[in-house]
C-alpha cells in the first residue's frame, strides 16, 4: 500500500511539473512542444489505466451487461486504424483528430468527476482523486494542443462529438457498470491520442517511418 502511494505521489509530481512547463510555449521549438505533449498524453493514458485497475479491484458480476467499444460516444469519428494509416494522414489533420478526441471528453469527464465522489466502491477516495487528475491533465493537454495548433498554423477544423448522458444510473450496479464503461472508452481514446501525438512528433522530427 505504501509503495503504491509513493508511486502515485511521484507520478503526480512528475505530471505537475510537466503541466507547468507545457503551458509556457513562448520560444519553445515545435519538436519540444510535441515532446512535452507526448509525455503528457502518455501520463494521461497511464493514469486512466491505474484508475481502471482501482475499479477492477471490486467490480460486481454483470452477466454480460458490459457495453461494446462501438457504443462509445467517440466511435463515430473516422480515425486511422494503425500506425501505417496514421503515417499517411497530413500532420494538421492528425493534430485535429487528437484535439477532437480530447475535446469530446470535456462533458463525460465532468460527469465522471461528479459521480466519483459518491461512487459505491471501496476505492472511492482513490477513484475520486485520480478522476480529478484526469480532468486537470486533460484540460492542460487540450490548452497545450490548442497552442500547438496555432504554432503549426492549422485551422480550427475540429469534429463535434456530442455526449448526451446526464447521469450513470440510480442503482449501485448501473452506476458501477456505466462508470467502468465510460472510463474504458476514455482509456481507449487516450491511447489513440497518445499514438497520434507520437506519430506527429516522429514525422515533425523527420524520422524514418520504421523508427516511429
Report the distance separating Cα 170 and Cα 184, nearest Å.
20
Is 25 inside any structural domain? no
Is 19 inside any structural domain? no
pLDDT digits (tens, 9 = 90+) for 79-118: 898 888 888 888 888 999 999 999 999 999 999 999 999 9
Is 13 inside any structural domain? no
Is 8 inside any structural domain? no
Alpha helices in 57-162 (DSSP H): 83-88, 91-103, 106-116, 124-152
pLDDT digits (tens, 9 = 90+) for 150-185: 887 766 678 888 898 888 888 888 888 899 999 999
Kindly state the percentage of the chain with pLDDT values over 70: 78
Higher per-residue confidence, 136 vs 153? 136
- What residues contact residue 101 under an 8 Å CB cut-off, 6+ apart? 74, 77, 79, 161, 189, 192, 193
pLDDT digits (tens, 9 = 90+) for 62-74: 544 556 778 899 9
Residue closest to 191 by CA, chosen among 30, 31, 52, 6? 52
CB 95 within 8 A of CB 145: yes
CATH code for the domain in which residue 146 is found: 1.20.1250.10
Domain of residue 192: give its range: 40-58+67-211
- What residues contact residue 151 under an 8 Å CB cut-off, 6+ apart? 25, 30, 33
Is 31 inside any structural domain? no
* pLDDT at residue number 162: 86
Is 134 inside any structural domain? yes
Report the distance separating Cα 40 and Cα 32, nearest Å.
12
Is 3 inside any structural domain? no
Is 15 inside any structural domain? no
- What is the tally of structural domains in the chain? 1
Amino acid at each position: 500500500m505504501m509503495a503504491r502511494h509513493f508511486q502515485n505521489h511521484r507520478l503526480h509530481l512528475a505530471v505537475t511539473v510537466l503541466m507547468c512547463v507545457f503551458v509556457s510555449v513562448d520560444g519553445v521549438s515545435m519538436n519540444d512542444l510535441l515532446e512535452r505533449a507526448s509525455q503528457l498524453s502518455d501520463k494521461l493514458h497511464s493514469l486512466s489505466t491505474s484508475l481502471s485497475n482501482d475499479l477492477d479491484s471490486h467490480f460486481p458480476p454483470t452477466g454480460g451487461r458490459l457495453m461494446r467499444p462501438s457504443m462509445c460516444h467517440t466511435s463515430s469519428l473516422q480515425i486511422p486504424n494503425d500506425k501505417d494509416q496514421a503515417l499517411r494522414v497530413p500532420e494538421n489533420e492528425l493534430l485535429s483528430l487528437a484535439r477532437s478526441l480530447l475535446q469530446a471528453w470535456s462533458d463525460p469527464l465532468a460527469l465522471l468527476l461528479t459521480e466519483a465522489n459518491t461512487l459505491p466502491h471501496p476505492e472511492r477516495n482513490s477513484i475520486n482523486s485520480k478522476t480529478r487528475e484526469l480532468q486537470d491533465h486533460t484540460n492542460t493537454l487540450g490548452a497545450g494542443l490548442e497552442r500547438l495548433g496555432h504554432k503549426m498554423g492549422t485551422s480550427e477544423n475540429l469534429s463535434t462529438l456530442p455526449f448526451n448522458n446526464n447521469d450513470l444510473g440510480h442503482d449501485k450496479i448501473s452506476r458501477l457498470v456505466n462508470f467502468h464503461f465510460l472510463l474504458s472508452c476514455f482509456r481507449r481514446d487516450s491511447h489513440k491520442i497518445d499514438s497520434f501525438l507520437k506519430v506527429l512528433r516522429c514525422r515533425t522530427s523527420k524520422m524514418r517511418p520504421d523508427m516511429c
